[in-house]
Amino acid sequence: MKKGWSVKKAESMKKIALMAVVAMGGVGASIRAQEPPAQPQMSPATAEAQKTAEPQAPTPAAAPVDPFPAVNLKNFTADSPTTAVVNDFLKTVWGYNDNLSWSVQAILKTAAPGVSRVVVLVANKAQPGKLSRNEFYITPDGKHAIADAVIDFGAKPFDDRRDTLRDQANGAAEGAAGKELLLVEFADLLNGQSKDAQDTINNLVKDIPQVRLVFENLPADGSPYAFRAAAEGVCVRKAKGDAGFFTYAQTVFNKQTGLTSATLDAALGAAVTAAGADPKTVAACAASQPAKDDVNASIALGAAVGMGQSPALVINGRVLPGGASVHYDTIKQIVAYQAGLDGVTVHLQPTLSTLK
């Protein structure tokens, strides 16, 4: 069963990111710079005279045209959030994209006590002359924003999720030893889009040496097959360590095509063998309560940080966008940007993959 890379909280984050998407697509007011008038033609004699004239001071360059209308202070009736906090939030969410600029046009009280309405206009250099209007609501605690779903809000909206995952994401890991730049993958080994996302994940680990990847199982709700694949992975890790688990997981991903309930035993057995473990021993372990508890703990962690379904990829608490429309270099750029926000200097390697 295929599911989108975005998850419930990822879909929520994508709604605020939807503002950027709207800005790309462009709706809203259009502001166009006037073209300068044509210069009159001059005679050869006049041109020669100008050559011998006293040099003139250079004309100052025109100031860049502000694409946004003037802010009306009457539209700022709410005490919270402040414009500075809204700008910090938008810089965190959008700042990796140099094409985007924005103007906070209103922070208004609403009929709901303590709930504020924020209006933002967004400009995109790729589509000059167009502005998009975006609105969202801030809850009384100042920690959440609502567009059509609830997301984290604030100058550092991802910190709580980042800290939770640093403390509790204990799945199989590879890459850097430290957790300063922690990439947590929530995936279902039998999910087709989890498989599709794996190339991006593998290449991020190769291209950004500071990344530590942690895999957390998030099998589809109610699927005994996906749960079993996850439990066998837990037991492979117990027998052969993290490297053995990643061999098992990649082999299961590779065997998804044409997989049915009738061929599941053989496919999982082959993956266990590829990891160097014994299929019968691993199958018995997977049926044990400790293995099931391990998978359930991973599912509970996903729920605690807002991951409702897989696949999802979280870098230092920030849910990364997914889907075929997102270029790999954009994903890498967001990872590097988030690292910078958290004080981590990354050394980007040339892209080693052919991801588009």
DSSP assignment of 174-186: EE-SSSTTEEEEE
Share of the chain above pLDDT 70, in %: 79
What distance in Å separates the CA atoms of residue 204 and residue 214, rounded to the nearest whole number? Answer: 13
Task: Flag whether pLDDT at 22 surpasses 80.
Answer: no
The alpha carbon dihedral of 8, 14, 19, 23 has a sign of negative
Task: Flag whether pLDDT at 55 surpasses 80.
Answer: no
The alpha carbon dihedral of 74, 75, 77, 80 has a sign of negative
Task: Flag whether pLDDT at 192 surpasses 70.
Answer: yes
Decide: residue 24, CB within 10 A, 0-12 exposed, 13-18 middle, 19+ buried: middle
Q: Extract the runs of DSSP E, i.e. beta strands, from the chain.
A: 100-109, 116-124, 131-138, 144-146, 150-152, 173-175, 182-187, 212-217, 312-315, 318-319
Reported as a single tens digit per residue, the pLDDT across 305-338 is: 999 888 999 999 999 987 666 899 999 999 999 9
Could you tell me which residue, 163 or 62, shows the higher pLDDT? 163
- Kindly report the number of other CB atoms within 10 A of residue 288's CB atom: 13
- pLDDT recorded at residue 59: 57
Domains and CATH numbers, the chain: 8-23+70-155 (no CATH), 159-341 (3.40.30.10)
Task: Flag whether pLDDT at 46 surpasses 50.
Answer: no
- pLDDT recorded at residue 221: 87
What distance in Å separates the CA atoms of residue 94 and residue 89, rounded to the nearest whole number? Answer: 9
pTM, rounded to two decimals: 0.76
Quick one: pLDDT band at residue 10, thresholds 50, 70, 90? very low
Residue 209 is given by DSSP the state T
In the predicted model, what is the mean pLDDT of residues 9-13? Answer: 46
In the predicted model, what is the mean pLDDT of residues 232-254? Answer: 98
In the predicted model, what is the mean pLDDT of the chain? 84
Q: What are phi and psi of 125, to 5 degrees?
A: -60, -30
- pLDDT recorded at residue 25: 34
Number of residues that this document lists for the chain = 356
Q: Extract the runs of DSSP E, i.e. beta strands, from 2-129.
A: 100-109, 116-124
- pLDDT recorded at residue 149: 80
Q: What are phi and psi of 323, to 5 degrees?
A: 105, 160
Reported as a single tens digit per residue, the pLDDT across 88-107 is: 999 999 999 999 999 999 99
In which order are the strands placed within the sheet that holds 312-315?
A: 173-175, 212-217, 182-187, 312-315, 318-319
Task: Flag whether pLDDT at 165 surpasses 70.
Answer: yes
> By C-alpha distance, which of 161, 200, 208 is closest to 181?
208
- pLDDT recorded at residue 322: 78
Indicate the range of 44-53, 193-202, 270-279, 317-326 predicted with least confidence. 44-53
Say if residue 81 is preceded by a cis peptide, omega within 30 of 0: yes
